[in-house]
Amino acid sequence: MMRRVVDLVGVLVVAGIAGGYYAHTRLNDSENEQLEETRTAVERLKGEVVIRSQSGQADVNPRGWSATVVPAWFGGELPKNTLLSEDRPWVEIAPVEHANWEHPKPVYDESGHDAAFWYNPALGIVRARVPMMPTDKRTIDAYNRVNSTSVKTLSPAGSVESTVLPAANSTD
């Protein structure tokens, strides 16, 4: 009888370890998929900004970049940052006083409502914000992966004041 109890406990321990490993692997796969989808969305946004700016299909600033990102450019299917919830502004437009910024501050979603993407029209730069991960290193790694960058630290500064575009599929 005692032998069966010990065997049962052993089987339950092994099953628990296997289940934990499976769940961890599935979560990791899901996170990697979201990172890749968001990286693709950043590339799509960048590509559209370049095409519209260079082809004269957008109002450009003196530096030759589109002054904003227009939702209608995407035919009703806006690029999505799948790392963040959809109940937030879509794109944050950096103001003139931040013309030299290459990254939003902060690079992660600080408030839970920061815009999914950030666009600096002075430099034609598009970035995706990421959620705060369990460690700063993981947050930085996620930001670098989706934006094809190599930042070394998180910004301690608050969010930039800027114009925010809603996520609604507008025809503007």
Residue pLDDT, tens place only, 121-153: 999 999 999 999 999 999 999 999 999 998 888
| Cβ neighbour number for residue 156 with a 10 Å cutoff | 7
Domain ranges within the chain, ordered by starting residue: 2-165
- pTM for the full predicted model: 0.75
Residue pLDDT, tens place only, 86-115: 999 999 999 999 999 999 988 999 888 999
Dihedral angle sign, alpha carbons of residues 70, 121, 157, 141: positive
Q: Where are the beta strands (DSSP E) in 6-71?
A: none
